[in-house]
Amino acid sequence: MDSAHLENDLVNVLFTQEQIQERLGEMAQQIAADYEGKDLLMVGVLRGAVMVMADLSRALPRHCEMDWMAISSYGSGTKSSGVVRILKDLDTDITGRHVLIVDEIIDTGLTLSWLVNSLGSRGPASVEIATLLRKPEALSMPVEPKYVGWDIPNEFVVGYGLDYHEKYRNLRDIGTLAPHVYS
């Protein structure tokens, strides 16, 4: 879906599809260099990270294994509930593996802080984070991603996997959702 199809749902477009692809390509080159000669397992956080994981992995100039987890700290609103739940766990044993968690956004940091600790307790060689977006003003938990596409303001954004009530995920761009949509 193109942002032109949304009429007044977006306040503005933060990043176009082209900008997103370019940035993911840059991140993939850095990841490939950092993990050269290492057994890399990319762990995508469902559902939002599907677009990021797909495009980031395709931009990698090397083989990598992928697995998925579904965790949530959101209820039905636009703010974190503060409670993390596992909805789908990994199918892969991560003992001795270099794990790269791939997510679309770091908001409060609660979910990813919990996930890093949880995966770290399973005996991996390393656990790092790659995220397309980070909201530094919203962070309430210490989370240090190794790879960040962009820092953004503390606004409600949608597109490229980011949703509001499961809508807007298929938007090619990332934009700020107009308050009248979620108020």
Q: In whole angstroms, give the CA distance from residue 148 to residue 180.
A: 30
**Dihedral angle sign, alpha carbons of residues 106, 133, 28, 47:** positive
Q: In whole angstroms, give the CA distance from residue 169 to residue 160.
A: 5
Q: Would you say 82 and 107 are in contact if contact means Cβ atoms under 8 Å apart?
A: no
Q: In whole angstroms, give the CA distance from residue 107 to residue 173.
A: 19
| Neighbour count for residue 62 (Cβ, 10 Å) | 14
Q: 55, 103, 107, 173: which is the annotated catalytic residue? A: 107
Omega of the bond leading into 47 within 30 degrees of 0 (cis) = yes
Tokens for 166, please give them: 């499961």
173 annotated active-site: no
| Neighbour count for residue 136 (Cβ, 10 Å) | 12
Nearest by Cα to 20 from 56, 63, 46, 69: 56
Q: In whole angstroms, give the CA distance from residue 166 to residue 125.
A: 35
- Residues noted as catalytic: 107
